[in-house]
């Protein structure tokens, strides 16, 4: 019984665990207020939200790797996608920051606005609280790969790289043709389609290349991976898709800090974030033919911060069907299509909000993002206490996954293939993470079968060579014996 308290206050964890306890307490307080029908003012809840963010920032500052750690880069997404609109509204008193128009308008005020702010405060406090309450520092301590394990990873890398090398030109051609014919509009219409294609495999195999390069830890594989990922990211950003570059930049920061162990100064990091934000908003201005260069940073944060309003918009819609909620756990839209279940607009929460709010906009290729917090909310049946527990469980599992990846190459591989999706899940859906894990596990199972088959073929070949080598000397003696016998016979005759 005395081991638990000593573990909770072990060196290097006290600050994080105190922060975790504070965050959990705030989440439970708001959940209890919701249960009894009480609520705070919207300004008070906004201030509480930023108190939660400040507590998280303190805990991250005390965490090895700081802002470039896994939880630190996850926090960057929280600041970018959740914090901007309530911060601007709190500072300027402009309630228009709490307005979203997409087919229909969401403009929560009063008690509705409080519930929106409480949704985010509870979800964020619970998730980070679950992570930090059980925090323990980790460092890579992996056993060397065996010969067979390394050979298996090398063959898997080669197979994935060949497929990527074949599909990348096809993806570039498809996007270029669509852009040449109809500009950005034609590119985004393709996003509303749900037809079978091999091109989405790139979204799975590029992270697989990264994960295998980390496991193999050799320069030749790292260089090939960088070439493939760079081409894939450029193929996205040249046609207005910023997400590919943004998430890979975060993955590169994590790799530098967690795998290579090279710290990055906070000043340089912030300058890099500012430069990336400027570049991304400049791309957005090109897409929308806007020239608001004087407010480029404000426009960037308000456009990215639209995620904050998505729950308010979703609550104005009918409750999503069960298959839509389950579709947010794993990407199975093609299975739904084969079974005749629902439509493309009800495949998951992410598509449901856009399709129900603005059907015409959705059909023309426009859409809104969603957030993994909303998936957890609907999976919890809309019960705020269960929502808090669900978010806390996600944070706890993320921390355990990270800790396990320092000891297990399998866990490290799965973490690496999911990093992009983990960083992006706050403005996407849970299925982006689970799909990477499930489908790439199938890929690795397939390459393992091929690996075993190649080993079997090689073993048979070596066995055949050994048999030939065994019989070769006997075959070589017979001609000599025959020649000697002939010589003896000739000598006898003479």
B/e letters for 275-303, b = 16+ CB within 10 Å, e = fewer, are ebbeebbebbbeeeeeeeeeebeebbbee
Round to whole Å and give the CA distance between 282 and 187.
Answer: 18
Q: Quick one: tokens of 255?
A: 């790799």
Write the CB contacts of 319 (distance below 8 Å, at least 6 apart in sequence): 378, 382
Q: Which residue pairs, CB below 8 angstroms and at least 24 apart, start in 334-340?
A: 334/194, 334/196, 337/194
Round to whole Å and give the CA distance between 294 and 67.
Answer: 29
Say if 164 falls within a structural domain: no
Summarised one tens digit per residue, pLDDT across range 89-123 is 999 988 899 999 998 999 999 999 999 999 999 99
Q: Quick one: tokens of 182?
A: 């109809």
Q: Quick one: tokens of 332?
A: 């199975």
Round to whole Å and give the CA distance between 95 and 86.
Answer: 9
Check residue 482 and give its pLDDT: 40
Residue 331: pLDDT band (50, 70, 90) is: confident
Check residue 6 and give its pLDDT: 42
What are residue 100's DSSP bridge partners?
106
Region of poorest pLDDT, from 127-131, 341-345, 415-419 = 341-345
Check residue 186 and give its pLDDT: 52
**Do residues 76 and 250 lie in contact, with contact meaning Cβ atoms separated by under 8 Å?**
yes
Nearest to 374, CA basis, from 119, 18, 126 = 119
For residue 100, give the H/E element and its range: strand 100-102
**Do residues 73 and 273 lie in contact, with contact meaning Cβ atoms separated by under 8 Å?**
no
Check residue 136 and give its pLDDT: 86
pLDDT average, residue stretch 456-466: 83
Say if 79 falls within a structural domain: yes
pLDDT for residue 185 is more than 60: no
Say if 259 falls within a structural domain: no
Q: Where are the beta strands (DSSP E) in 113-262?
A: none
Please, what is the Cα angle at 459 between 456 and 463, to 5 degrees? 140
Round to whole Å and give the CA distance between 57 and 49.
Answer: 12
Say if 251 falls within a structural domain: no
Q: Which residue has the tokens 């690795």?
A: 444
CA-only gyration radius of the chain, Å: 29
Say if 356 falls within a structural domain: no
Say if 122 falls within a structural domain: yes
- Boundaries of domain holding 94: 3-133
Residue 469: pLDDT band (50, 70, 90) is: confident
Summarised one tens digit per residue, pLDDT across range 352-363 is 999 999 888 887
Distance from the first to the final alpha carbon of the chain:
106
Q: Where are the beta strands (DSSP E) in 186-247?
A: none
Say if 102 falls within a structural domain: yes
Round to whole Å and give the CA distance between 288 and 352.
Answer: 25
384-405 and 70-81 helices cross at what angle (nearest 10)? 140
Domain tally, the chain: 1
Nearest to 204, CA basis, from 40, 433, 485 = 433
Residue 366: pLDDT band (50, 70, 90) is: confident
Q: Quick one: tokens of 26?
A: 């705030």
Q: Which residue has the tokens 């048979």?
A: 460
pLDDT average, residue stretch 120-130: 98
């Amino acid at each position: 019984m005395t081991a638990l308290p000593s573990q909770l206050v072990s060196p290097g964890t006290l600050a994080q665990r105190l922060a975790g306890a504070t965050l959990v307490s705030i989440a439970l307080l708001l959940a209890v207020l919701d249960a009894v029908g009480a609520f705070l003012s919207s300004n008070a809840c906004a201030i509480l939200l930023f108190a939660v963010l400040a507590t998280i920032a303190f805990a991250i500052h005390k965490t090895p790797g700081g802002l470039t750690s896994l939880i630190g880069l996850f926090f960057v997404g929280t600041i970018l996608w959740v914090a901007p609109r309530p911060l601007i509204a709190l500072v300027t008193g402009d309630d228009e920051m709490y307005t979203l128009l997409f087919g229909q308008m969401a403009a929560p005020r009063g008690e509705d606005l409080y519930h929106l702010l409480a949704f985010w405060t509870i979800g964020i406090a619970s998730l980070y609280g679950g992570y930090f309450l059980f925090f323990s520092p980790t460092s890579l301590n992996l056993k060397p790969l065996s010969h067979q394990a390394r050979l298996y990873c090398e063959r898997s890398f080669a197979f994935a790289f060949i497929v990527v090398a074949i599909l990348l030109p096809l993806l570039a051609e498809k996007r270029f043709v669509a852009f040449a014919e109809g500009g950005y509009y034609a590119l985004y219409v393709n996003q509303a389609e749900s037809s079978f294609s091999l091109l989405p495999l790139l979204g799975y195999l590029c992270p697989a290349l990264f994960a295998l390069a980390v496991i193999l830890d050799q320069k030749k594989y790292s260089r090939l991976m960088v070439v493939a990922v760079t081409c894939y990211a450029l193929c996205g950003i040249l046609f207005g898709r910023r997400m590919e570059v943004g998430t890979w930049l975060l993955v590169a920061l994590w790799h530098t800090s967690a795998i290579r162990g090279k710290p990055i100064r906070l000043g340089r990091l912030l300058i890099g974030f500012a430069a990336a934000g400027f570049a991304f908003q400049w791309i957005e201005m090109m897409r929308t033919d806007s020239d608001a260069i004087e407010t480029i940073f404000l426009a960037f944060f308000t456009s990215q911060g639209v995620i904050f309003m998505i729950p308010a918009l979703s609550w104005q819609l009918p409750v999503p069907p069960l298959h839509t909620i389950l579709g947010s756990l794993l990407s199975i839209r093609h299975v739904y299509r084969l079974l005749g279940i629902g439509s493309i607009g009800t495949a998951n929460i992410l598509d449901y909000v856009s399709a129900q709010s603005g059907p015409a906009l959705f059909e023309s290729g426009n859409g809104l993002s969603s957030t993994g917090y909303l998936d957890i909310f609907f999976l919890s049946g809309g019960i705020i206490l269960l929502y808090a527990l669900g978010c806390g469980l996600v944070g706890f599992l993320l921390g355990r996954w990270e800790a396990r990846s320092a000891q297990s190459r399998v866990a490290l591989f799965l973490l690496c293939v999911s990093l992009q999706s983990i960083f992006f899940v706050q403005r996407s859906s849970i299925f982006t993470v689970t799909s990477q894990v499930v489908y790439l596990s199938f890929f690795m199972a397939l390459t393992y079968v091929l690996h075993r088959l190649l080993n079997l073929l090689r073993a048979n070949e070596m066995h055949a060579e050994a048999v030939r080598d065994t019989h070769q000397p006997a075959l070589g003696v017979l001609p000599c014996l025959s020649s000697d016998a002939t010589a003896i016979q000739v000598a006898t005759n003479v």
